[in-house]
Structure 1
Amino acid sequence: MLDLINDFSPGLFFMQALILIILIVLMRKFAWKPILNALSEREEGIAEALAAAENAKIEMANLEASNQAAAQEARAQRDEMLKDAREIKEKMIADAAGQAQEKADKIIAQAQEAIEAEKKAALADIKSQVADLSVDIAEKVTRKELSQKDAQHALIEQLLAEANI
């Protein structure tokens, strides 16, 4: 260290100081401003990127909330559509059952009418057959009884007596 102090030259020191000051001025004029501008631009870019990221995060949160709301609305619409479909199905089943019951009632009524008509026709046929048989029997009985003269007179007197009663 002593060697350094002994070798000290004020002219050299002055020249080096002058060169250092000139270098600092030149650096300040030509290098510091572009470096500081580049740093400030980079700082602004980073701030803008952070702001854009924050905006994107907020937008994503909004989109997610919107998607959840849309999904909830879609579920509600689906439930409503299913409810409507069930109601339509139940109405169609009820209508079909009502129509089937009406048709069944109509068929039963027609069958009852047909049965009643057949019954009346059968009764009329039976009455006709009974009348024919009665006439045949009465004719045979009458012939037998009218073949004898005394029996004819007794029958006439009996019929007259019954008629007068």
Structure 2
Amino acid sequence: MIFLAEFSVIRPDFGLLFWTTVIFLLFWFIIGKFAFRPIAEALKKRESDIQNALDEAKRVRQEMANLKAENEELLAQAREERAKILKEAKDAGNNLVEEAKNKAKVEAQKIVANAKEQIEHQKMAAIVDLKNQVGAISLEIAEKVIRKELKGDAAQESYVNGLVKDIKLN
């Protein structure tokens, strides 16, 4: 207990102060040599790993942005191609309809022209037939009239002489 009586925290002894300082400095030297260096290296490694992870994340983010842009571009191209194909299909359909209409018009015109031609041929045939019939009927009528008028031989002879005179004059 005597030892405790001499000890005072307010007024430390020089020897105690000396040895406390020496031990403290030795402690920091040993800690600095064996603990701080590995801790500093571990911190530097961790900082490097974190920086690498951040750089990788930034690279991946940039790559994702590029992929997204490429995807958008591909989608836009696909939309354009789809629109182009639809337009071509619509145009082809319209062209087919237009060609069918034109073909039908041409066919109808041919049919009408053929019908008109047949009608004209039939009309001409009917006119020729009618003329032939009229001519035949006229001949029959003329024959009957002449027979009636020329029932006698004297009338026939006089008529033939008149015809011969007409022929000689012409």
TM-score for the superposition, normalised by structure 2: 0.74
The residue number in structure 2 matching 1:57 is: 61
The residue number in structure 2 matching 1:148 is: 152
**CA distance, structure 1, for counterparts of residue 159 and residue 49 of structure 2:** 145
Aligned mate of 1:120, from 116, 121, 124: 124
User: What is the identity, as a one-letter code, of the residue corresponding to 1:31?
Assistant: A
| Count of aligned positions | 162
**CA distance, structure 2, for counterparts of residue 64 and residue 57 of structure 1:** 10
Look up the SS of the partner of 1:139 in the other structure.
helix
TM-aligned CA deviation for residue 125 of structure 1: 1.6
TM-aligned CA deviation for residue 36 of structure 1: 1.4
The residue number in structure 2 matching 1:18 is: 22
The residue number in structure 1 matching 2:162 is: 158
**CA distance, structure 2, for counterparts of residue 52 and residue 148 of structure 1:** 141
Which runs of 5 or more residues in structure 1 are unaligned?
none
User: What is the identity, as a one-letter code, of the residue corresponding to 2:148?
Assistant: K
TM-aligned CA deviation for residue 122 of structure 1: 0.6
Aligned: 1:111 with 2:110: no
**CA distance, structure 2, for counterparts of residue 4 and residue 30 of structure 1:** 32
User: What is the identity, as a one-letter code, of the residue corresponding to 2:113?
Assistant: A
Q: Deviations over 1:80-134 (max 9, x none)?
A: 4455445544543453344334323322332122112211221222122112211
User: What is the identity, as a one-letter code, of the residue corresponding to 2:160?
Assistant: I
Structure 1, 67-76 or 21-30: larger mean CA deviation: 67-76
Q: Deviations over 1:15-70 (max 9, x none)?
A: 32233233223322332233212211221122112212221233233234433443
**CA distance, structure 2, for counterparts of residue 162 and residue 48 of structure 1:** 137
TM-score for the superposition, normalised by structure 1: 0.76
Aligned mate of 2:48, from 30, 44, 66: 44
**CA distance, structure 2, for counterparts of residue 159 and residue 86 of structure 1:** 84
Which runs of 5 or more residues in structure 2 are unaligned?
1-7
**CA distance, structure 2, for counterparts of residue 74 and residue 66 of structure 1:** 12
Q: Write out aligned runs for 1:22-37 (5 A).
A: 22-37=26-41
